[in-house]
Amino acid sequence: MITVASPFLLLQIEPLTGAWSVVSAAGDSTALREARIGVGFRAGRNRSRVEARGYRAERAASVRKDRLHGRFRVLSIDAEAGHGLAVRAEWRVSFEKPFLLWRVVLNNRTAAAQTVDWIDLCRAGRRFGLAGGVGLPIPPAERAMFVNGWQSWSFAGGRRSRDRQPGPMLGPYNLPMHIGTGLHSSGRPGHFVSDMFTSIGKPSGKDEFVAGFLAQREQFGAVETWLGDGELSLRMRADCDGVRLDSGGTLATDWAYLALGPGASAMEYFDAAARENCARAGRAAPEGWCSWYYYHTAISQADLEKNTDAARALHAKLPLRMIQLDDGYAADVGDWFERGPKFPSAMKDISARIRKAGFTPGVWISPFIVRPGSRMQREHREWLAGGVQGIMSNVKITWLRDTLTLDVTRPEVAEYLRLLIRTVVREWKFPFLKLDYLYLPAARSVRFFDPTITRAQALRRTLEIIREEAGEKTYLLGCGCPLGSGIGIFDAMRIGPDVDPVWKPHVFRRTWAARGDPTVPAAWNAVRNMLSRAPLHRRWWWNDPDCLLARDAETDLTADERRTLAAAIALSGGMVMLSDDLSALSPESVRLAQILLPPLYRAAELPAWRGEAPPRVAILPMRGPQGAWWVVGLFNWADRPRKDSINLREWIHSKSEVVALSFWDGRLMESSGGILDTPEIPAHASILLAVRTRGNGVQYIGSDLHFSQGAEVAEWKPARNGLRAVLRLGREAEGAVWIALPAKPVRSTIEGESIQPERISDDVWKVPVRFSKQGILEIRWSRK
Ligand code: 9PG
């Protein structure tokens, strides 16, 4: 037995059979037992698979320091895999945290080329006809798992063992967009395939078992399991796409990651993947406006200018910083150098006008997509990727026809992409690019000109070229992008399906026709992912939860649904973008958008992140000059009204009773026995609370000025007979603040102007305020 021990984990490898196990050094019962490494390949026409066995320990494990992930005990061993394929497995057991990394390096020792289909970095359990698997200290019915979809628009969220794999429902229309791996769920309850990573545990609370890939630079990797089995069967597969491995050639996987036992943490996995890919998570995305969700492809230069001017007129109320032109300006899909008739001015003049109005110009571009009939398709047929059986690859059906993609493994295509990005950034002068449909060249149906490159390698190399050409300063937003491929490339990333002015998934407004598809444009689909993937925010990039649709006309969203969308965007901490006709927004709609500004840029905590999609509760712990509080979002995702309650001990770890102000309706609530009961929440509605432990004397209770109900307090100076506070939002604000006072106020002013507080309860007063950028609030009372 080969053994590697760290203070956290014990890795044991049985040399003869190649079976390896990981147990927690703490003696915890979570363990992976008797896992195997295997390779699926073809020599000529024969499909074969080999298992790595007959290990020879090559080097005694020594402790080494890794630039990115700290100190490890390292073990590298060669196995006889048979058929002339040499398999080397490399393990790194962390000495600092309870995780280990491993990867496989394959070497073709035969004289002939081989075709590699997949590498299983781990396979264990009875579902694969093997012994072992993952042992968990949680009964099957109480388990939950995070299921992650392949790209931006794919489903992501918590599942329970009785649930089924969520996936695209519309066949050829959307299947090619979301299937990133060769592993398939049977669709039976508890049988899940999660792209790149998963976390398993109880629906809320700590992670018991975290498994994933640190990167998707070499292959797209996925994790498969049956959550309801006593001992879980587990497979972690790197898809090799049938690449050709020439004689003498090597093929390495990305590093796989596994954490179990006390201290195992999905957040630590996200951080590790961020380190591995040198994530660019530090630059805030500018708040802005996007043309897509009101104008779609009907956008004209006149509409763009009208909205730019409207954004400028609204600026004191709604301080947006960016105007982003989306799809619709190009002559055809794929012909980005030519404008359509609705855009008479040159792109550089279009961006100059936006800049002159005081905004950062942003533009959408979909560098790989080619529509049949476009000039690109007619003049550069040889640049297009092939598909299965020699037919052009179908990477999605749009306009009732197959959509085509460029073959990014062709050198001429890489040159063209460089020219395209260079033109948009340097000649058109757009410092913000939304790059869309990025999964296209990596769709499973695509066959490349270069048969030695995996889909993941092709996409990653191309995205690196795009970043290089765009330069470090250009802000790049990825969209429709396989997640792992984008880490370290993009400053921001769309993490969910498109929003839509309709709540439920639909096809031409027919809900039944969408069959509940979790990926098509729908406010509900967008909201689910923006919460489920909130933990990625500022770890892998800046999350783009997609736009707020604030309009109250030309929308099917109810006022409750619009507020829920706003609350979820705010609590996600990610980009704040509007996508309405800004010149036609009602004062109420402007107000709904206003309460998100300025953004707090922090993602809320999700106690049941792993257990439900979307999570029903989001909590943002807050601190300011006036003390500490929690912003709590409570969502009713059901189609019927429902009451809810907050257990303070469990959720916000407060032992005292609290006072809570409900943002949308200004209702004041108090907990009793540690429980805060809500009134009935209408279908698809949300309650946004500011929760504070009750003190005596002067206390800030909340406001209707900003969703946080407290971030507006810049200074807070209570004294014996009065209070002086500075409220600051950097924009116009009009509404009220709720303050507990020790006595009846005798004189109150905002910016020196007299105001009249209204008594709400024994000691809570609602104080009307109004200011631009900031306001000084003074309240005096007389103590008897
Ligand atoms: C412009 C749009 C917007 C939008 C992007 C992307 O077929 N589909 O499922 C599908 C999903 C999203 C989508 C288009 C098609 O929208 O997310 O913000 O930029 O492209 O065409």
300-348 confidence digits (pLDDT tens): 999 999 999 999 999 999 999 999 999 999 999 999 999 999 999 999 9
Q: Which residues are catalytic?
A: 436, 498
Q: What is the per-residue pLDDT across 141-168, written as a single tens digit (0 to 9) for each?
A: 999 999 999 999 999 999 999 999 998 8
CA–centroid distance, 644 to ligand 1, in Å, is: 35
| Triad 758, 763, 764: Cα angle to 5° | 50
Band (174; pLDDT cuts 50, 70, 90): confident
- Best mutation site among 299, 400, 479 for ligand 1, i.e. most ligand atoms within 8 A of its Cβ? 479
Tokens of 541: 């990039």
Residue 23 has pLDDT above 80, yes or no: yes
Q: What is the per-residue pLDDT across 194-214, written as a single tens digit (0 to 9) for each?
A: 999 999 999 998 999 999 999
Place of tokens 């009220």: 736
Tokens of 736: 């009220």
Residue 98 has pLDDT above 80, yes or no: yes
Q: What percent of the chain has pLDDT over 90?
A: 86
Contact 445, 392 (CB under 8 A): no
pLDDT value at position 650? Answer: 82
| Cis, bond preceding 614 (omega within 30 deg of 0) | yes
Q: What is the per-residue pLDDT across 209-238, written as a single tens digit (0 to 9) for each?
A: 999 999 999 999 999 999 999 999 999 999
Q: In this predicted structure, which of 43-57, 238-252, 355-369, 540-554 has the lowest mean pLDDT?
A: 43-57
pLDDT value at position 63? Answer: 83
Residue 393 has pLDDT above 60, yes or no: yes
User: In the predicted model, what is the mean pLDDT of residues 569-596?
Assistant: 98
Q: Which residues pair with 359 in a beta bridge?
A: none
| Cis, bond preceding 166 (omega within 30 deg of 0) | no
Tokens of 151: 């790209």
Contact 52, 18 (CB under 8 A): yes
Residue 389 has pLDDT above 60, yes or no: no
Name the DSSP letter for residue 128: G
- Mean pLDDT computed over every residue of the chain: 95
Band (652; pLDDT cuts 50, 70, 90): confident
pLDDT value at position 592? Answer: 98
Burial of 381 (0-12, 13-18, 19+ CB in 10 A): exposed
3 state SS of 408: coil
Residue 689 has pLDDT above 70, yes or no: yes
pLDDT value at position 175? Answer: 86
| Residue 707, amino acid | F
CA–centroid distance, 309 to ligand 1, in Å, is: 26
pLDDT value at position 204? Answer: 92
Query: What does the alpha-carbon distance between residue 775 and residue 459 come to, in Å, rounded to a whole number?
Result: 51
How much of the chain is in helix, strand and coil states, percent to nearest 5? Answer: 20, 40, 45
Q: Classify the C-alpha dihedral 84-1-68-277 as positive or negative.
A: positive
Residue 399 has pLDDT above 80, yes or no: no
Which of 574, 644, 579, 583 is closest to 604 using CA atoms? 574
Nearest CA to ligand 1 atom 7: 174
CA–centroid distance, 470 to ligand 1, in Å, is: 22
| 385-393 contacts at long range (C-beta below 8 A, 24 or more positions apart) | 385/441, 385/446, 385/447, 385/448, 385/449, 386/446, 386/447, 386/448, 386/449, 387/445, 387/446, 387/447, 388/445, 388/447, 393/443, 393/445, 393/446, 393/447
Residue 402 has pLDDT above 80, yes or no: no
Contact 89, 76 (CB under 8 A): yes
pLDDT value at position 452? Answer: 97
Band (388; pLDDT cuts 50, 70, 90): low
Pocket of ligand 1 (CB under 6 A): 153, 174, 177, 292, 326-327, 364, 396, 436, 479-480, 498, 520
Band (400; pLDDT cuts 50, 70, 90): low
3 state SS of 396: coil
pLDDT value at position 522? Answer: 97
Contact 594, 586 (CB under 8 A): no
Query: Could you give the C-alpha distances from 88 to 76, 119, 260, in angstroms and in order?
Result: 7, 12, 24
CA–centroid distance, 771 to ligand 1, in Å, is: 39
pLDDT value at position 651? Answer: 80
DSSP for 354-370, written as a single string: HHHTT-EEEEEE-TTEE
- Best mutation site among 436, 440, 477 for ligand 1, i.e. most ligand atoms within 8 A of its Cβ? 436
Burial of 68 (0-12, 13-18, 19+ CB in 10 A): exposed
pLDDT value at position 226? Answer: 98
- Best mutation site among 174, 175, 327, 520 for ligand 1, i.e. most ligand atoms within 8 A of its Cβ? 327
Nearest CA to ligand 1 atom 16: 498
Band (76; pLDDT cuts 50, 70, 90): confident
Q: What is the per-residue pLDDT across 344-367, written as a single tens digit (0 to 9) for each?
A: 999 999 999 999 999 999 999 999
* pTM greater than 0.85 (yes/no): yes
Residue 390 has pLDDT above 60, yes or no: no
Residue 376 has pLDDT above 90, yes or no: yes
Q: In this predicted structure, which of 364-368, 587-591, 643-647 has the lowest mean pLDDT?
A: 643-647
The number of C-alpha atoms within 13 Å of 653 and in the hemisphere containing its C-beta is: 7
pLDDT value at position 397? Answer: 67
Helix axes 523-532, 559-572, angle to 10 degrees: 20
CA–centroid distance, 436 to ligand 1, in Å, is: 8
